[in-house]
Amino acid sequence: MTKDEIITFAKENHIKLSVTWWDEEVWLNRIILPKAKRGQGLGGKVIRMLKQYVDEKGIPLKLLADSCYGTELQKLKSIYQSLGFVSYKEKGSKSENYMAYNLDRDWQIKFHKVLYTYMKGLANEQNKHIFRRL
């Protein structure tokens, strides 16, 4: 998947798309579908194209969910979650509306190893059976 393929698809379908393409991450700044094009899966297709692009590069796709274009914030977050995005805290920001797809896999692995080690240390005779399977 290339940037040009994504941009061309958006233009052909009259989708207002703003993306910032960094080497280490991609930011989806805006995606607005004309009212006549909504409900046809075109927005989801653009997101899937962006996800394919970042998967091939091994980098995350990030966004800040915002209701400024008319869609309720919780609905937006729900849509993005259904497309594989997770909420996260952007360094230096107080907003809780940042979402990302394909966060650094190494970070996730390290986090789970630390959590596993911590939980293993909490195991005692009473709940040892839970940790045998881990």
Task: Please report, in tens digits, the pLDDT of each residue of the chain (134 residues total).
Answer: 999 999 999 999 999 999 999 998 999 999 999 999 989 999 999 999 999 999 999 899 999 998 887 788 899 899 999 999 998 888 888 888 999 998 765 455 555 556 666 666 665 555 555 555 44
> What span, in angstroms and rounded, lies between the C-alpha atoms of 64 and 31?
12
**Coil, strand or helix: which one is 26?**
strand
DSSP 89: P
Domain hosting 34: range is 3-103
Do residues 133 and 98 both lie within one domain?
no
Provide the domain count of the chain. 2
Do residues 78 and 109 both lie within one domain?
no
Do residues 86 and 110 both lie within one domain?
no
Do residues 54 and 77 both lie within one domain?
yes
Residue located via tokens 């046809």: 40
pTM of this prediction exceeds 0.85: no
Do residues 19 and 69 both lie within one domain?
yes
In terms of Cα–Cα distance, which of 78, 100, 74, 72 is closest to 87?
Answer: 100
**Coil, strand or helix: which one is 57?**
helix
